[in-house]
Amino acid sequence: MTIARSPTWESGPVTVPPFAVVSGGQVQQALRGREKQIVALIEDTYRLHAAGDSVNPPSHFLRFPDRPSARIIALPASICGEAGVDGLKWISSVPQNVAAGIPRASAVLILNDRRTGYPFACLEASIISATRTAASAVLAADRLRRGRHPTCVGFVGTGLIARYIHTFLAGTGWSFDAIGVHDVSADSAAGFRCYLEQSGATGCIVVHDSVEQLIRVSDLVVFATVAARPHVSDPAWFAHHPLVLHVSLRDLAPEVVLASDNIVDDVEHCLRADTSVHLAERLTGNRDFVTGTLADVMAGHVTPSADRTAVFSPFGLGVLDLAVGKYVYDELAGSGQLHFVDDFFHELRRYG
């Protein structure tokens, strides 16, 4: 799968692109049922990033002294070359939203024309963000399964990301004999179980009272929580060496990290912001415990050991959001469904 051009070309007259606004409904329509295509797109984007054909600076965190649990993150990025696009994801997280009955996270994605710098689209991006996160996790699960087929998957945390990861697992052909569920909120765990039943999930569905119980019976463990600090600290829970998708990044204590093979999406990005692997680096004073990146695994440079727990910790790269956002834009453009805002850029004459 390739990433299509932005709307203006490298040659020809310089023009300001029209500006489109893409709703969440349109995003969902463009992505629904495309799990295999999106996983392939994410794989291509990881390879492109590993080859140096992207610009992906550190994410910037906006935090609030009066709202310490809330944050807004800016993820600027650029996919290089004539097929590329520039842009920014602006995503907020307010955990208190859940109690009010609305999702924790909300986001927009801005796509910029590479030739003029003008933005040409604003897309609702909570779905894009969940989609790229799920596709990345499922790609890692496929590449790190070490010749085994997990029969029991366990979800720690049962929000939107967990739902999307399950959707992508099912949409790419995964099936399980059992699905374990655990959440600190009993209502959330029950809601996720109801979703699984209604989605036609195969296998028995078990709600576990403790994280330990879920981990010990699962050979694929998905952490998709809002944990700000480690709450899983005993390596013995992982004695059966499951494959762990540590999507929420801060659930595992350094002791668990150091007892595992650790695969990240990008070393510099992931070892910061008090992630579990960042805490392990602080404890040891080195990065020797990092086995490699997912791109290293895909290229055959790294093979996780069969007798150690494999942990995938993806910090989340802005280039992935760009790739998925541009895919959505192109799908809608191709079907004539883009909604343009007339006269969005008004002052287009230098001297009026």
The dihedral built from the CA positions of residue 322, 262, 153 and 142, taken in this order, carries a sign that is positive
What is the chain's length? 352
Our CA angle for 129, 131, 133, nearest 5°, is 70
The dihedral built from the CA positions of residue 49, 51, 54 and 57, taken in this order, carries a sign that is positive
Number of neighbours of residue 102 by Cβ within 10 angstroms: 10
Mean pLDDT of the chain: 94
What confidence tier does 11 reach under pLDDT thresholds 50, 70, 90?
Answer: low
Question: Collapsing DSSP states into helix, strand and coil, what is residue 209?
Answer: coil
Q: Say what the pLDDT of residue 163 is.
A: 97
Q: Say what the pLDDT of residue 125 is.
A: 98
The mean pLDDT of 86-92, rounded to a whole number, is 98
Tokens of 182: 């655990």
* CATH 2.40.40.20, applies to 20-128+318-334: no
Q: Say what the pLDDT of residue 148 is.
A: 87
Domain boundaries, the chain: 20-128+318-334, 145-313
The letter for the amino acid at 211 is V
Concatenated DSSP letters of 299-334: TTS----TTSEEEEE----HHHHHHHHHHHHHHHHH
The letter for the amino acid at 177 is D
C-beta of residue 282 within 8 angstroms of C-beta of residue 256: no
Percentage of the chain with pLDDT > 90?
Answer: 89
Select the CATH number that applies to the domain covering 145-313 from these four: 3.30.565.10, 3.40.30.10, 1.10.569.10, 3.40.50.720. 3.40.50.720
Distance (Å) of CA 327 to CA 28, 34, 168, 255, 261:
12, 11, 17, 40, 33
Q: How far apart are CA 152 and CA 203, in angstroms?
A: 9
Q: How far apart are CA 64 and CA 68, in angstroms?
A: 6
Q: How would you label 309-323 residue by residue, b for 16+ Cβ within 10 Å and e otherwise? A: bbbbbbbbbbbbbbb
Q: Say what the pLDDT of residue 98 is.
A: 87
The mean pLDDT of 240-248, rounded to a whole number, is 98
C-beta of residue 187 within 8 angstroms of C-beta of residue 213: no
Q: Say what the pLDDT of residue 10 is.
A: 52
Q: Say what the pLDDT of residue 308 is.
A: 96
Concatenated DSSP letters of 139-186: HHHHHHSTT---SEEEEES-SHHHHHHHHHHHHTT---SEEEEE-SSH
What confidence tier does 3 reach under pLDDT thresholds 50, 70, 90?
Answer: very low
Summarize pLDDT for 300-347 with one digit per residue, the tens.
999 999 999 999 999 999 999 999 999 999 999 999 999 999 999 998
Summarize pLDDT for 212-238 with one digit per residue, the tens.
999 999 999 999 999 999 999 999 999
Beta strands 152-156 and 220-223 are: parallel
Summarize pLDDT for 173-184 with one digit per residue, the tens.
999 999 999 999
What confidence tier does 249 reach under pLDDT thresholds 50, 70, 90?
Answer: very high
Tell me: pLDDT of 161 over 80. Answer: yes
Rg (CA), the chain: 21
Q: Say what the pLDDT of residue 146 is.
A: 81
Q: Say what the pLDDT of residue 175 is.
A: 95
The mean pLDDT of 58-73, rounded to a whole number, is 95
Question: Collapsing DSSP states into helix, strand and coil, what is residue 33?
Answer: coil
Q: Say what the pLDDT of residue 212 is.
A: 98
The mean pLDDT of 14-42, rounded to a whole number, is 97
Q: Say what the pLDDT of residue 2 is.
A: 46
Tokens of 27: 């995003």
Distance between terminal CA atoms of the chain?
44
Beta strands 119-124 and 105-112 are: antiparallel
The alpha carbon of residue 103 and the mean position of all alpha carbons in its chain are separated, in whole angstroms, by: 16
312 DSSP β-pair partners: 245, 263
Summarize pLDDT for 122-132 with one digit per residue, the tens.
999 999 999 99
Q: 């790229």: which residue's tokens? A: 132
Nearest to 298 by CA among 45, 83, 80, 55: 45
160-171 and 186-198 helices, crossing angle to 10°: 20
C-beta of residue 302 within 8 angstroms of C-beta of residue 291: yes
Number of neighbours of residue 350 by Cβ within 10 angstroms: 5
Tell me: pLDDT of 4 over 60. Answer: no
More confident residue, 293 or 11: 293
